[in-house]
Amino acid sequence: MPKIVDHDAYRAELAQRAIPVFRKLGYHGLGMRRIAQELGVSKSALYHYFPSKQALFNACSQQLTHIPTPELTSQAGPEERFGALLALAHKLDEDFRGELSLLLDYTRHMSHEEIVAQNPIKDSESALYQCMNALVGEERAQSALHQLLGILLLRAFNGGQTGFESMRPFFFGTHAQ
């Protein structure tokens, strides 16, 4: 009896497994043959699910945009919101250097207009913005996102020396404990 394959689930699994391959090897120096080799599948099987490296990259990006928005009640206080922010920050920090390296490699030869037109980048930014909106409200979400990304960048440069606690005054005023 032939093996029954859930093609959508397997496609999603391949995309999820390809994320660390892109992080490790970049975008431009990587071909479908090497990706297939890293995933332990044939090149033809990979092409069956993804007609191009760009299609696979887009599927990987969609996997990454599923950032769970913190579920907070309207009565959630500053400490609960800050705790949710710290959890998000630590989750993002786990792979930030790889993500940053991949983003720079992916956009290296693009104009500003081409970067703005990239759905994977827009989708990631939108998912992060929605998380910040849930944590600090719409009026402060953009500034909060800038603060978070700045700290993540500093942590990438200084080996994690910059702490996320430095965000406390930004989010909740200088008197928040």
Tens digit of each residue's pLDDT (9 = 90 or more) over 59-113: 888 877 667 667 777 787 878 888 888 988 998 898 888 888 888 888 889 999 9
Percent of the chain at pLDDT exceeding 90: 41
Looking at domain 7-60, its CATH architecture is Orthogonal Bundle (1.10)
With a cut of 70, say whether residue 52 has pLDDT above it: yes
Confidence of residue 8 (pLDDT cuts 50, 70, 90): confident
> What's the pLDDT score for residue 170?
67
**Amino acid 171: pLDDT:** 64
Do the beta carbons of residue 174 and residue 123 sit within 8 Å? no
pLDDT of residue 176: 40
Give residue 169's pLDDT.
77
Q: Residue 54: is its pLDDT beyond 60?
A: yes
Which range, 3-17, 31-45, 115-129, has the best average confidence (pLDDT)? 31-45
Q: Give the pLDDT mean for 15-37.
A: 93
pLDDT band at 177 (very low <50, low <70, confident <90, very high): very low
Note the pTM of the prediction, 2 decimals: 0.78
User: How do the domains of the chain map onto residue ranges?
Assistant: 7-60, 78-172
Assess whether pLDDT exceeds 50 at residue 175: no
